[in-house]
A and B are shown apart, each in its own frame.
Chain A
Amino acid sequence: GAGVSQTPSNKVTEKGKYVELRCDPISGHTALYWYRQSLGQGPEFLIYFQGTGAADDSGLPNDRFFAVRPEGSVSTLKIQRTERGDSAVYLCASSWNGLAGVGEQFFGPGTRLTVL
């Protein structure tokens, strides 16, 4: 079956602009995660959705970052007033988390964001 997909694969924008990054999780996966990976670093957790609600957004760096998952499937990460320091690869992962525990996370290919 299809894996996690992310669009666009690359995004170049200018400082101060608004961007949206999209994630399509594996069908049926209840949990969705966003991570940010800077060059030479491991991914850093941003936000976690269980269903439609953001169960944990403690990793969002500031209020310029916001994410939604209105129907419990597709998610959009939104960044306002982008800064050069936002340049990174943004990764999305999905898993099936339930009463039996936390499932394996499957990662998408990422969106490489470059802020000029």
Chain B
Amino acid sequence: GNSVTQMEGPVTLSEEAFLTINCTYTATGYPSLFWYVQYPGEGLQLLLKATKADDKGSNKGFEATYRKETTSFHLEKGSVQVSDSAVYFCALITAAGGGADGLTFGKGTHLIIQP
């Protein structure tokens, strides 16, 4: 089956620090990979995605590269802001089934940015 493992939180950083949140996966078939973000009091939002190996997804200064050889999709940002404080979820879907298996999510990483 499919599974996603991401680093446990909470992760606490100072403003302008470099961020890495690790994510590795196992999948039957060829997955598409996603990072979703949940800001306090809000619903899940897609942050970025990559659909094939070596693709780099990017949005709002965040980046993640689809690494098939290491089955990883680590999230990075060069300089975090207080407004980046949220819970981040790594997820995958195997489109071979037409999306019928739904997204498989990691447990989430709570990021806290201190001014």
Contacts and interface: CB of A to CB of B under 8 A. Distances in A.
A116 B28 CA distance: 39
A102 B31 CA distance: 11
Given A102-B32, A102-B93, A109-B43, A55 B103 contact: no
Interface string B12-28: 00000000000000000
Interface in B84-111: 89, 91, 93, 95, 97-108
B44 A104 contact: no
B77 interface: no
B43 to A, nearest CB: 4
> Interface size for chain B: under 10, 10 to 19, 20 to 34, or 35 or more residues?
20 to 34
Given A41-B107, A45-B104, A102 B99 contact: yes
Interface residues of A, number: 30
B46 interface: yes
Closest 10 CB pairs of A and B: A42-B105, A45-B102, A102-B99, A56-B100, A107-B44, A102-B95, A109-B43, A55-B100, A97-B99, A107-B43
Interface of B: 4, 32, 36, 42-46, 49, 89, 91, 93, 95, 97-108
5 contacts: A33-B103, A41-B107, A44-B105, A45-B104, A55-B100
Given A46-B102, A102-B32, A105-B103, 18 more contacts: A40-B107, A42-B107, A42-B108, A43-B44, A43-B103, A43-B105, A45-B101, A55-B100, A56-B101, A58-B101, A91-B43, A95-B99, A102-B95, A104-B46, A106-B46, A107-B36, A109-B43, A110-B43
